[in-house]
Amino acid sequence: MKKLYLVLSLILSFTASTASAQIYQCKDAQNRTVFRDSPCPDQKVDNSTEAGKIWYELKQLLNEGSQIYSIMGPDLSSIKMCNVKTAEFNKKLDVVETSLQKLSGNTHKKMVRAVENLRLCGDCRTSAPNYCRKAANLLKEETAELALTN
């Protein structure tokens, strides 16, 4: 009976994990459309477009935001420094967010959500790394969309 429960739980966990998988549309060497369950290996974002420039700026801010949490230690001076870095980070993020809002209200929703997560990624809190990962995943998904439009 235990084996039956084990097998059923494995089947259900596998089904649940594949049901939420992202599908990526790619081009193969013969320029045919193919679908994959992982990002296309050769996808590049064109930084000559406004959306591409914003995407690159967000990637840079992701790296910067990921570093901020590591500044914070248990002492008051490191907490103050972390808060200063967070304020500087948010000013940079404000500029990029303004550019993104000018781009279009209904397009690039993943970049908009990435900005929301970057706000918390560059914060002095223990959950910051989780938000950095969420922002990174959203930017990765946006890579697929930007590469398809080029």
pLDDT digits (tens, 9 = 90+) for 20-44: 456 666 666 666 777 777 666 656 6
Q: Extract the tokens encoding 3.
A: 């084996």
- pLDDT at position 32 is 73
Mean pLDDT value across residues 128-140: 94
Q: Collapsing DSSP states into helix, strand and coil, what is residue 22?
A: coil
Q: Is residue 133 predicted with pLDDT exceeding 50? A: yes
CA distance 89 to 58: 11
**Whole-model pTM?**
0.69
* 62 has pLDDT over 60: yes
Burial class (CB in 10 A: 0-12, 13-18, 19+), 131: buried
